[in-house]
Structure 1
Amino acid sequence: MESTHWRSESNEPAPTKVSPVDDRLTADTALRRVRRGESLLYTGDFHNAKQLVGAMARRLPPPASARSPLDAFRAERRARQLEHETLSRILVALDRDYRLALKRAPDVAEACRQVWGEPEAEQTLVSLKTLTGMLSAAEWRRKGLDVPGLTGKLHPHYGVYLPTRTDYVELLLSVTDVKGKQVFDVGTGTGVLSFLLLQRGAAAATATDCDSRAVACARENAERLGLARRFQVLETDLFPPGKADFVVSNPPWIPEPPKNRVDRAVFDEDNRFLLGFLDGLAAHLHPGGQGLLVLSDLAVLLGLRAPDWLEAQFAQRGLAVKWKRSAPARHGKAKDKSDPLHAARSKEITSLYALVPVA
């Protein structure tokens, strides 16, 4: 075994200056030290460590005031990046069995094995912020999530997009002519869209995702739901080989660079995924087949896309909209007036486009 293994969801290099700290450390002192480039290895009480991180977060500056939705979005991303860079410098050490030797620490070993596999070192260093996120995800995975229209619970994995926004799921339920059809699900995540269509009579679904965690998550959920015989998932970018009657995708909806692995479910730099989907769609449809694209208009509301940009991309690729159904956003941030992006999010619309090649 290696002596120490550093874990980061953002591919950040291992810290070079690590100093042990304990419960005597104040949030103000911690902020001064991490701003000087130190990483602080917490050795005291687990709950005190979490309180320290929370107190540090409250001392960070809020997003700068903005005159436009785009300015607000940029300011919010800068603020979140500063928060990540600051709070991720509070570290904890796990032993060779992923045990956390802090007072009042929970058992974190199962959550760590779910994400990382078996230990590869005598000691694993990770930010407390990342570890608490993993613990929260492990609880979601254990309890499962109810999804509108799905019979049985969905059990999401850490790092895979959590379908707590139900507008896009409910839109897909309006598709009624799925019995006996072949389905491709491009960028499947948990597999939820495939499962909804399979439970409503689709003959088979082949899903893809470029992330190994999503592939494992979708495969496990298919087994739990009794759909494994009609479902397969491949770790690949965009389309599987062959053609289908329905090719469905709920791609990342913000055309900006992701800052970490989890971000890739939301951020699609230069529209690479979306345009790749549109480029290859016609070639992967059976005659009479349809592409089912679910997409939020938040990028338009933020000023990251022109209002007519998407329709122009359809036309350039010889695709026509056979029908379109839309729903207003009902997630929590759409109603939170304290959210810096509330002006845009309160107007957000998610649409389901049925796309067909132009004859």
Structure 2
Amino acid sequence: MSQGGSIHWEEGGQNCSAVWHSENGIAAHKKVVIADDTFTADDAYRLACEGTAILWKGDFQNARQLLQALVRRIDKPSKKSKRAGKRVDKSTDVTPKKTAKDIFNQHRLIQSQRARILGMLLIQCNSDHTIPLRRAPDITQACSEAYGTVDHSYIVSLRELLGVISAHEWRKNGLPILADENGEPIYVHPHYGVFSPVRGEYIELVCSAPLPKSIDGASTAFDIGVGTGVLSIILAMRDVQEIVATDQDDRALTCAKENIALLGLGSQIDIVKANLFPAGKASLIVCNPPWVPARPSSLLEHAVYDPESQMLKGFLAGLKEHLLPQGEGWLILSDLAEHLELRSRQELLSWIEDAGLVVLERIDTKPKHPKAFDDSDSLHFARAAEITSLWRLQIHQKY
């Protein structure tokens, strides 16, 4: 369980403290006030914006409603900003046009500020993961799955706690990824902190791409960055006989092992803790790295943001040493970063060439997730143009 010092507050004339917990590494708040059901949303919003945390002591369901009230206040433009927008004379406006990268950076800044404000509403949990508040749900299993066993009371943001509860539901109910030969859905069960494979378009690419011919002689594959295990499961369902899946994250390794065991695929898939590649060579090596070259600021963002494209470049650079003759590397990658001006297509092609690889084929698909069709999203211009591709790569013949 991640800890970040202690939270201190005054209650009933006494000084109190508890362990502070933040999965995203946020430092323990210095200013803390006690709040209950008499606290107004306007007061909470003002304090949160000023950097004062609010330790909730009232009804749990009222705390959830307060959090929603904070969301509405953050997301609703102020009357002042609306009036300012109406006063702009576009014929004389000389404000420099923002680049795609500017818009992306502003979007991340707004999201960060939003998360900071919403993270100011705090809940105290007992050492057995119960919440000593009226109408509090039973979260013991959800928190045990996410945090493990603890021997102390701790304080966590309500926003993080709701994420833990939501992750428990995903884990319990599972996520359908494809159908078996009888048309019955096959599920994976994401764990807390492990990215859910909700983008079905890349799953369809891996299901339909032609397997390399070398599979006939050596039915082996590596899955780099296993996550929930979804790509390994697909390859096993496509009759690849020996699959080695790697990851550096312990939660991902545990999650993948559980999903593979539930489907009875343990004899085909071996899970190994490694940075990128395991030892040896394979006929097929697949990787779905984070798609955007930026620094993650939260736990789940590690599956979305790849600082300086480190994982992407590491995968490409290592393929030559780990592919069998006539084997293929499958790179699953969105071009969203290109539309955001964070990486160019020429950069990607140069990394492929420098790694001694050639492109056999690129199989493209359009995204189907709701954000691609949400024109109120500040990044809609990029999401609407996004293409997700499976790049079939092979070692250049000169090597």
Could you say which TM-score interval applies, normalised by the shorter chain? over 0.9
**Other-structure match for 2:170:** 140
8 Å CA contact retained: 2:253, 2:271: yes
**Other-structure match for 1:106:** 137
Query: Offset at 1:149?
Result: 4.6
**Other-structure match for 2:292:** 254
Query: Offset at 1:62?
Result: 6.8
Report the AA paired with residue 166 of structure 2.
Answer: S
**Other-structure match for 2:115:** 84
8 Å CA contact retained: 2:178, 2:187: no
Give me the whole-angstrom Cα distance separating, in 2, the residues matched to 1:294 and 1:313.
15
8 Å CA contact retained: 1:18, 1:40: yes
Query: Offset at 1:175?
Result: 2.7
**Other-structure match for 1:129:** 159
**Other-structure match for 1:6:** 20
Q: Can you give the 5+ residue segments of structure 1 that lack an aligned partner in the other structure?
A: none
Identity %: 41
**Other-structure match for 2:375:** 337
Q: Does 1:307 align with 2:345?
A: yes
Q: Tell which structure's C-alpha radius of gyration is larger.
A: 2
**Other-structure match for 2:51:** 37
Report the AA paired with residue 264 of structure 1.
Answer: H
Query: Offset at 1:136?
Result: 0.7
8 Å CA contact retained: 2:172, 2:189: yes
Deviates most, 23-32 or 197-206: 23-32
Secondary structure at the counterpart of residue 153 of structure 1: strand
Secondary structure at the counterpart of residue 132 of structure 1: helix
Report the AA paired with residue 152 of structure 1.
Answer: I
8 Å CA contact retained: 2:35, 2:54: yes
* 1:305-326 deviations in Å (ceiling 9; x for gaps): 1232211110111110011100
Give me the whole-angstrom Cα distance separating, in 2, the residues matched to 1:111 and 1:24.
29
8 Å CA contact retained: 1:148, 1:166: no
Give me the whole-angstrom Cα distance separating, in 1, the residues matched to 2:76 and 2:240.
48
Secondary structure at the counterpart of residue 292 of structure 1: strand
* 1:262-305 deviations in Å (ceiling 9; x for gaps): 11000000011101111111111111211010000000011111
**Other-structure match for 1:288:** 326
Give me the whole-angstrom Cα distance separating, in 2, the residues matched to 1:55 and 1:42.
15
Query: Offset at 1:346?
Result: 0.7
2:106 to 75, 80, 88: 75
* 1:128-172 deviations in Å (ceiling 9; x for gaps): 000001111100111111113565211111111111111110001
Give me the whole-angstrom Cα distance separating, in 2, the residues matched to 1:89 and 1:348.
35
Query: Offset at 1:234?
Result: 2.0
8 Å CA contact retained: 1:62, 1:79: no
8 Å CA contact retained: 1:149, 1:170: no
Give me the whole-angstrom Cα distance separating, in 2, the residues matched to 1:79 and 1:140.
27
Give me the whole-angstrom Cα distance separating, in 1, the residues matched to 2:250 and 2:20.
20
